[in-house]
Homo-oligomer: A and B are copies of this chain.
Amino acid sequence: MTSSAEPVSRAERKKQELRREIIDAAFDCFAERGYHATGIADVAARLGIGHGTFYRYFQNKRDIVDHVVDDLVGRVTGALTAENAPDAVSTLAEYREQSARIGESLGRIFGEDPRVPRLLLFEAPGIDRAMSERILDLFDLAASLTAAYLTHGVELGYLRADLDIDNTARAINGMILGTAISSLRTPEAQVAQSEALRRIMYDGIAAR
């Protein structure tokens, strides 16, 4: 049920392949030079195709950036939801391990290719209102995901009963966001950053 009807055959597959290549090339260009600074011609040139061809695959410039973002959002949410259900854990220690695992996934995506956070956080919001709303939706989605983990923890009793779940979730996501942004300049600090984040959550910053 994951893929739709068979894409007929050969030529059709070629088309889908080129379509994918265009999305990737556009991602490269947008991340490197920025959305407004790259022209359709740049994207086409990168693939060695005429820029008229581009319009056989995408309506217009605005159209493709949506697809690029789709792609990235898919990667990120995929990493977040895969094999890490909130109710897979039942103790604080397990929870901490799980959060480390999730942090690692995110780190892999954001840290290994800084173009991903650059596009999602630095380029996309400035494109237009619709896109910035989309990014805000993404934050909201992330907040509700995190909130689900917290809710689960409160119910099982390994997290504070009086947790302000929603706002705490946003604060935690903020820390993750901070990590992603840091990785724009110092991708190698990603791991330490992630550990510091977890220490704040579990140990706080105060001396005992």
Task: Identify which of A12-20, A74-82, A125-133 touches chain B.
Answer: A125-133
- Copies of this protein in the assembly total 2
Question: Is A164 close to B, CB under 8 A?
Answer: yes
Cβ 8 A contact of A200, one of B34, B153, B168, B195: B168
Question: Is A45 close to B, CB under 8 A?
Answer: no
Question: Is A193 close to B, CB under 8 A?
Answer: yes
Cβ 8 A contact of A122, one of B125, B178, B184, B207: B125
**Would A192 and B206 be within 8 Å (CB), given that A125-B123, A126-B125, A132-B122 are in contact?**
no
- A124–B125 Cα distance when bound, in Å, is 9
Distance to closest chain B CB from A161 (angstroms): 7
Question: Is A181 close to B, CB under 8 A?
Answer: yes
Contact check, B164 vs A199: say whether CB atoms are below 8 A apart: yes
Contact check, B206 vs A160: say whether CB atoms are below 8 A apart: yes
Question: Is A50 close to B, CB under 8 A?
Answer: no
Contact check, B199 vs A202: say whether CB atoms are below 8 A apart: no
Chain A residues close to B by CB (< 8 Å): 34-37, 92, 118, 121-129, 132, 135-136, 139-140, 150, 153, 157-161, 163-164, 167-168, 170-179, 181-182, 184-185, 189, 192-193, 195-197, 199-208
- What would 9 A/B residue contacts be, using CB atoms closer than 8 Å? A123-B126, A126-B126, A126-B127, A157-B207, A160-B204, A167-B189, A170-B193, A174-B174, A177-B178
